[in-house]
Amino acid sequence: MSVEKMPVKMFEDDRQASAAVARRIAAVIRERASQGRTAVLGLATGHTPINVYRELIRLHQQEGLSFANVVTFNLDEYWPIRHDAMQSYHRWMNENLFNHIDIPAANVHLPSGEVAEHDVLEHCRQYDKAVRDAGGIDIQVLGVGRSGHIGFNEPGSSRDSRTRPIRLDHITRSDAASDFFGEENVPELALTMGVGTILEAREICLLAFGEHKAPVLRRAVEGDVSAQVSASFLQEHPNATIYVDEAAGGELTRMATPWLLGPCCWDDRLKAQAVIWLAKKCNKPILRLTDEDYNENGLGEIGAHGKAYEMNLSMFRRLMNTITGWPAGKPGGPRRRVLILSPHPDDDVICMAGTMIRMCLNHDVHTAYMVSGYLSVFDHNVLRYADMVKEFNRIFGLGAEQAKAVEKHIVAVETHIDKFLGSKKACDQDTPEIQEIKGLIRRAEATDAAKFCGVPAKNVHFLDMPFYNTGQVAKLPLAPRDVEVIRELLERVQPDIVFAAGDMSDPHGTHRQCLEAAMTALTQYEAAGNPKPELWLYRGAWQEWPPEQIDMAVPLSPMETHRKRMAIFRHESQKDRAMFPGPDKREFWQRAEDRNAATAKLYDKLGLPEYQAIEAFAKWPVTRSANAMGNLTAE
């Protein structure tokens, strides 16, 4: 049985899904070329399709895929916006695809953000006409917004809508805030192909990656067709396929509650998932679940007919065994070298300050900040620190010669800061000097916070991975140097235990790239004959592990929880309001406290001991149930 109303292909990660879509596009291009016809592609922008375009570029460069006979139509563009603006989809498409392939400029079409207001409607009509004149779209690539939009067809867009101006939904504007350095700078309007225009494509591939897309994906795939979720209109298309990674597919019934669909392939992981779900549903601690509870909720296979008692006990023990107050080993045991890999300079304390504090009591703890994080420092912080340096120099003075040299340098930097920041517009990119100063501010804060948790200053490392240093939100693909800096650190520290951020849905994809680089570095490190460290994954600031995936739960006392808050406060530049808070308006310390308290509450409700807060970790490799594995598409 399936409750999915359109075909969904689920892949282990976004790269595999993107490669499958790129292969499909290449097949259409080749097929059309063999018929002596042009292929018409409908294209999307955003974070989602980037690896599709990288793969198409690779196919062009290495496998001779030609775009000479390809015509493209993009879905949308902000309005008004200049084509060369950093956030313009014109620029984005040039930088991420068109500049790297042999497509003739005349074959490329995007709605224009430069068109004058009185010409907008005619421009949109002409856009639809151009699609028709080209013979219609052969294959359309789509992402999906958290508002459910395809293109920029926000909630309320009708089934028959055509290319037109549209007011952006507040969720969309908040998701775009980081690209524009603040939500207030995001244009209120955009031009978008309509739902009707999109549905006329002969084939549609919708991509969705990351946990943050899971709720909307479920509504689009399993819910009713509704103008509230324009992606749901794809259910009415005869040839639309959804390509997802496991994270985005996580809330589909076949992943979240597969037992409701029919017989399952039961293993420990799935049993844990089911029992926790049942306890929550019945609002009972695990040990009080009865045969009837199992039976009446579709879990007769594992719990009914007198089996509930044993099932309850084994799941209860399993969860009890995750709890430990000594995350790297008890006092008196071996002193272990621990390396915490923190993508941004504050992820370590946000996600695991309590665990850091406890491990520092009896182990040798190192922490490494993978990217500089300069992007999230406000300009006024730079001015404040520049004033401080000036005053410091005036009061404490230096030897005459030194003072002169330093003074000269400071004056130059100050002049630069005043001049640059004085005339900087909201969406301007920082100069390398300002980026450097912002990076220094975050370094000082990270060192302070790590020391506060008990990490010695000599054990604090800054990797400054190059992929991050673009001056803008969009990042470079990983390069060998990104991996090398981590591998060199592994060689120096020789850790027994490594902690890394294991999440897939950070808004800018930085955590994803950091994890990928860390995994590659660890593989190389082990291949070089070094002993394999234990690897634990914590979740970033956005969400927690699902309870069945928690392998280690570190309880925090009220005092430790308070200390954790103080450690997060050391990141002053991120306090009061972070530059990129995302749609969640709470500050990071509040999110951390709420999340750790929620895990503690969940353990309590399941009938385990009641704690103030719990930090949760999954052990690598994160095992999936055979059932979940069975959902993966092999291509």
Cβ proximity to ligand F6R, 163 vs 355, nearer residue: 163
DSSP-derived pairing of the beta strands 534-538 and 613-619:
antiparallel
Q: At what angle do helices 588-605 and 347-360 cross, to 10 degrees?
A: 60
Q: Round to whole Å and give the CA distance between 97 and 88.
A: 14
Q: Which residue of the chain is nearest ligand F6R when measured via CB?
A: 143
Tell me if 143 contacts ligand F6R by CB under 6 A. yes
Q: Is 149 in the site for ligand F6R (CB under 6 A)?
A: yes
Query: Which one of 111, 113, 151, 249 is in contact with ligand F6R (CB under 6 A)?
Result: 151
Is residue 296 annotated as a catalytic residue, yes or no? no
Binding-site member from 9, 17, 24, 46 for ligand F6R (CB under 6 A): 46
Site string for ligand F6R, 77-96 (x = CB under 6 A): --------------------
Interface with ligand F6R includes 217 (CB under 6 A)? Answer: no
Q: Which of 9, 24, 47, 442 binds ligand F6R (CB under 6 A)?
A: 47
Tell me which H or E stretch contains 91. Answer: helix 89-96
By CB under 6 A, is residue 75 in contact with ligand F6R?
yes
What does the DSSP 8-state code read for residue 397? Answer: -
**Residue in 154, 200, 251, 560 annotated catalytic:** 154
Q: Does 145 bind ligand F6R (CB under 6 A)?
A: yes
Identity of the residue, 190 or 537, whose beta carbon is nearer to ligand F6R in the bound complex: 190
76 binds ligand F6R per the rule CB under 6 A = yes
Q: Are 570 and 344 in contact (CB under 8 A)?
A: no
Distance CA 27, CA 95 (A): 24
- Is-contact 625 270, C-beta < 8 A? yes
Greatest Cα pair distance in the chain: 88
Strands 8-11, 240-245: pairing is parallel
Which of the residues 152 through 171 are near ligand F6R (CB under 6 A)? 152
Q: Which residues pair with residue 77 across a beta bridge?
A: 191
* CB nearer ligand F6R, residue 149 or residue 563: 149
Under the binding rule (CB under 6 A), the answer on residue 229 touching ligand F6R is no
C-alpha angle 293-296-300 in degrees, rounded to nearest 5 = 85
Helices (H), 495-557: 510-527
Asked if 509 interacts with ligand F6R (CB under 6 A), we say no
User: Contact between 430 and ligand F6R (CB under 6 A)?
Assistant: no
Binding of residue 173 to ligand F6R (CB under 6 A): no
Tokens 């030194």 belong to 402
| Minimal distance, residue 546 CB to ligand F6R, in Å | 22
Told to check if 198 binds ligand F6R by CB under 6 A, we report: no
CB 462 within 8 A of CB 372: yes
Of 331, 281, 441, 311, the C-alpha closest to 375 is 441
Q: Running DSSP on this structure, what letter comes out for residue 368?
A: E
Q: Round to whole Å and give the CA distance between 69 and 259.
A: 49
Give the nearest distance from C-beta 549 to ligand F6R in angstroms: 24
Nearer to ligand F6R, 173 or 564 (CB): 173
- Single residue of 25, 93, 150, 483 touching ligand F6R by CB under 6 A: 150
Q: Pull the structure tokens for residue 499.
A: 């902690």
Residues lying near ligand F6R in the complex (CB under 6 A): 44-48, 75-76, 143-145, 149-152
**Catalytic residue positions, numbered:** 154
